[in-house]
């Protein structure tokens, strides 16, 4: 790490919900850079007040007011509001860190009430998202601000170790497969496409997809001096808990309005190699997260969660009721894969450290704008492929 920066970086939160609380914990642990949390603007006044009060920071009444007091905006709203938040922040000359996904299709106000994303035609949605990506790219580039894409899979110790292996052993990655699945998206807004920008593919599939696209970038930069990027995609999506015969045993969330709860995606890269993503909201047992890499000179299994760093046997669930065992685990009883430090294991801590160093020491972050643009391009091209029952869609070059 480089030496200490001279002045404090002032951070402002756009949205003060679940993930903003995790970012707050991570900011407390940033080292080598002086960071100051200034405040939050949340569209929901009560959310903003609760978040600000609990952390002793200012509750702003508009994004404009927050922008006046900050150096970097942490975009933590649901996806429908990401693009505007990024563009407004960049145009005000502020650095941006943005949660995944970069953005998503949201209908205009006139069509929002009866919009059903799973039934809507995907070609116009893809074109609208591509236009939005171009606007984000333009705003960030023209204003010369730093943009960190908070894809925590990229920052996990597991994926970073594999990146080092690929880089130093001159690997050619031939195929990869990655998954993030669990028992249901917890955020209420994730039921509706108009807020979430899609279903499992965007909410959880974006994670392994981000890691897979990142590792091919690393390989390309190490071997040829430029990233290897995706060029085509095939996909299927399904609403498994919405099938007429679904038998609800009470363990899996099943009340989605217009989004899928399972997706399968096959990505082809410009060098002819491939990556597969499986993702769903129908998997019990905690978060099912991994990225497998099969290269010409090695194979690696990045086991992200659950992992056996701490395995604990608890004969009586109530004994552990106040202990965070592992996100999305629905029982505290029996043999448990205990997560000793989720912020570290999931890469949240490292992404915050990287974003702060990128600003303080004027360098590009590990996970940046191009990765976020490619991820969204693949996802919305995948939705178009799924509408065509898996027919390949060639990506439009960004």
Give me the residues that bind ligand NAD (CB under 6 A), please: 14-20, 41-44, 47, 76-79, 81, 99-100, 152, 187, 189
DSSP states along 315-352? SSGGGGTTS--STT----SEEEEE-S-HHHHTTHHHHH
- Give the DSSP H/E element, type plus range, for residue 152: helix 152-155
DSSP states along 57-79? -EE-SSHHHHHHH-SEEEE-S-G
Q: Among positive and negative, which fits the CA dihedral 21, 133, 385, 371?
A: negative
Structure tokens at 332: 């505290």
| Shortest distance in whole angstroms from residue 212 CB to ligand NAD | 16
| Shortest distance in whole angstroms from residue 15 CB to ligand NAD | 3
Q: How many CB atoms lie within 10 A of CB 226?
A: 9
Query: In 3D, which of 151, 279, 278 has the Cα closest to residue 211?
Result: 151
Name every residue whose Cβ is closer than 8 Å to that of residue 139 and which is 6 or more positions away in sequence: 86, 87, 90, 91
CB nearer ligand NAD, residue 276 or residue 289: 289
| Shortest distance in whole angstroms from residue 33 CB to ligand NAD | 21
Select the residue whose beta carbon is closest to ligand NAD and give its number: 17
The CA-atom distances, in angstroms, between 79 and each of 196, 213, 264, 303 are 5, 20, 21, 27
CB nearer ligand NAD, residue 130 or residue 196: 196
How far the first Cα of the chain sits from its last, in Å, is: 32
| Shortest distance in whole angstroms from residue 111 CB to ligand NAD | 18
CB nearer ligand NAD, residue 79 or residue 306: 79
| Shortest distance in whole angstroms from residue 153 CB to ligand NAD | 8
Name every residue whose Cβ is closer than 8 Å to that of residue 319 and which is 6 or more positions away in sequence: 332
303-336 per-residue burial string, b: 16 or more CB within 10 A, e: under 16: ebbbbeeeeeebeeeeebeeeebbebbeebeeeb
| Shortest distance in whole angstroms from residue 339 CB to ligand NAD | 13
Rg (CA), the chain: 20
CB distance 34 to 7 below 8 Å: yes
| Shortest distance in whole angstroms from residue 252 CB to ligand NAD | 18
CA dist 339 and 323 (Å) reads: 10
| Shortest distance in whole angstroms from residue 22 CB to ligand NAD | 7
Name the 3-class secondary structure at 26: helix
| Shortest distance in whole angstroms from residue 20 CB to ligand NAD | 6
Q: Dmax over Cα atoms in the chain, in whole Å?
A: 62
- Give the DSSP H/E element, type plus range, for residue 294: strand 288-295
CB nearer ligand NAD, residue 186 or residue 309: 186
């Amino acid at each position: 790490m480089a030496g200490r920066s001279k002045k404090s970086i002032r951070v402002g939160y756009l949205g003060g919900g679940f993930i903003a609380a995790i970012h707050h914990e991570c900011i407390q642990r940033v080292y080598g850079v002086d960071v100051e949390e200034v405040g939050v603007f949340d569209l929901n006044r009560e959310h903003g007040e609760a978040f600000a009060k609990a952390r002793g920071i200012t509750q702003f009444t508009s994004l404009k007011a927050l922008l006046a007091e900050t150096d970097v905006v942490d975009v933590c709203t649901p996806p429908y509001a990401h693009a505007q938040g990024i563009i407004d922040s960049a145009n005000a000359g502020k650095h941006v860190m943005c949660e995944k996904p970069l953005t998503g299709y949201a209908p205009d106000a006139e069509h929002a009430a009866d919009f059903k994303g799973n039934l809507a035609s995907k070609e116009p949605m893809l074109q609208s998202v591509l236009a939005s990506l171009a606007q984000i790219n333009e705003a960030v580039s023209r204003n010369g601000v730093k943009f960190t894409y908070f894809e925590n899979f990229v920052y996990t110790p597991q994926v970073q170790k594999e990146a080092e292996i690929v880089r130093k052993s001159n690997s050619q990655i031939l195929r990869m497969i990655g998954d993030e699945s669990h028992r249901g998206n917890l955020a209420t807004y994730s039921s509706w496409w108009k807020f979430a920008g899609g279903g499992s593919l965007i909410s959880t599939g974006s994670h392994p997809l981000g890691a897979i696209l990142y590792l091919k970038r690393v390989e390309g930069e190490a071997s040829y001096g430029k990233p290897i990027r995706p060029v085509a995609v095939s996909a299927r999506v399904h609403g498994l808990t919405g099938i007429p015969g679904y038998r609800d045993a009470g363990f899996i969330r099943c009340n989605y309005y217009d989004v899928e709860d399972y997706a399968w995606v096959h990505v082809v890269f410009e060098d002819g190699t491939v990556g597969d993503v499986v993702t769903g909201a129908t998997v019990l047992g905690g978060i099912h997260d991994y990225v497998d890499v099969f290269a010409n000179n090695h194979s690696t299994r990045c086991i992200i969660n659950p992992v056996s760093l701490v395995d604990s046997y608890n004969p009586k669930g109530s004994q552990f009721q106040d202990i965070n065992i592992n996100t999305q685990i629905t029982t505290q009883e029996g043999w448990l894969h205990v997560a000793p430090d989720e912020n570290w294991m999931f890469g949240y801590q490292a992404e915050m450290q990287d974003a702060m160093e990128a600003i303080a020491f004027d360098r590009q972050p590990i996970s940046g704008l191009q990765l976020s643009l490619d991820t969204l391009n693949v996802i919305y091209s995948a939705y178009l492929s799924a509408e065509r029952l898996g027919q390949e869609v060639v990506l439009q070059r960004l």
